[in-house]
Amino acid sequence: MKIIFLGAPGAGKGTQAEIVSEKFDLPAISTGAIIREAIKNGTEMGTKAKEFTSKGALVPDEVVIGIIKERLSESDCANGFILDGFPRTVPQAEALDAMGVVIDKVINIEVPDEKIVTRMSGRRSCPACGATFHTVYKPSATGETCDKCGVELTIRADDKPEVVLSRLEIYHEQTEPLKDYYSKTGKLINVIGQEEVADTTALTLEALK
């Protein structure tokens, strides 16, 4: 199965993508995570991308399309995959179509802007392994360190309140039109993001049946 998760930053796409990935044994591919890894490793792509991500702007289409082309050609994607954070613009969706990728379902997680801002202020991530947590919705065992590697959790640079607002604006301008794009193909399913992760998961799994 080939699944896309759509939604505003902080809507819970990544969390649901990870849960569905385990349940269906499909790789969850997050362009954001690939970009953060490249920034951490100081690669040429990472250095270029950082100029955009640090301001909350989108990385240019040709860069992310290149990342996805490479990743989808890997053998673990042969039986399907979950895309978390790609496509984020209409040209990216068109590029996916042009690659001959036939998507089965597009799950759009809807969360109102006011809730997004509160939710994002609680997001924490592990600078070592990239695992994500939330002070309220998904706390780590100690609340301050990563469950997997014990490293102190940090706030992503682009989760700072001033950057969140511009990410939301960009979401409405550039990513939200994808709802229309996929609705026309009959593949879009809207899931209302719930307070509890498990409740959103139940709705997501229902949508994937």
Residues contributing to the site for ligand AMP (CB under 6 A): 9, 30-32, 35, 52-53, 56-59, 64, 85-86, 88, 92, 158, 167
Sole residue written with tokens 């790789």: 27
d(CA 209, CA 206): 5
DSSP letter (8 states) at residue 88: -
CA–CA gap between residue 154 and residue 161 (Å, rounded): 14
Closest CA to 171 of 92, 88, 108: 88
Residue, CB closest to ligand AMP: 32
Quote the CA–CA distance of 9 and 65 in Å, as a whole number: 19
Q: Which residues are catalytic?
A: 13, 88, 123, 156, 167
Distance CA 38, CA 78 (A): 24
Q: Tell me how far, at minimum, the Cβ of 209 lies from ligand AMP, in Å.
A: 26
Is 73 or 142 the residue whose CB approaches ligand AMP more closely? Answer: 73
CB of 12 to ligand AMP, least distance (A): 12
- CA dist 74 and 86 (Å) reads 17
| 153-to-59, 127, 156 alpha-carbon distances in Å | 25, 7, 9
